[in-house]
């Protein structure tokens, strides 16, 4: 009795990141993923997070200027923790 999500057929998405273009990875995908198709290298319009979670996080985090990357990260984490987990 595994988790319900693990019984579904997983979908592997790869873009053109250097690690994904390695010959060993390409050969593995060709041999083991017969229905593989290309995924655009940079496609924010296909990223579900772009239109939901990131918009909320950006709105909350960009309300003020941050003095460091650490301060921005802390603000983003706080905003993330304030959102419902099922969002």
| Residue spans per domain, the chain | 10-41, 44-82
The reply to whether the predicted model has a pTM over 0.75 is no
**On the CB side of 69, how many CA atoms lie within 13 Å of its CA?**
0
Q: What is the pLDDT of residue 67?
A: 92
Helix or strand holding residue 70 (H, E): helix 69-82
Distances (CA, A) of 34 to 9, 27, 39, 50, 59: 14, 11, 15, 29, 41
Going by C-alpha positions, the residue among 43, 42, 24 that lies closest to residue 32 is: 24
Averaged pLDDT, groups of 10, the chain, 87 residues long: 60 76 85 71 61 78 89 89 69
């Amino acid at each position: 009795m595994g988790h319900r999500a693990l019984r579904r057929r997983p979908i592997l998405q790869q873009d053109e990141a250097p690690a994904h273009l390695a010959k060993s990875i390409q050969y593995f995908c060709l041999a083991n993923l017969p229905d593989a198709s290309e995924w655009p290298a940079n496609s924010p319009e296909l990223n579900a997070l772009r239109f939901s979670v990131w918009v909320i996080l950006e709105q909350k985090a960009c309300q003020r200027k941050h003095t460091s990357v650490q301060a921005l990260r802390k603000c983003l984490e706080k905003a993330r923790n304030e959102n419902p987990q099922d969002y």
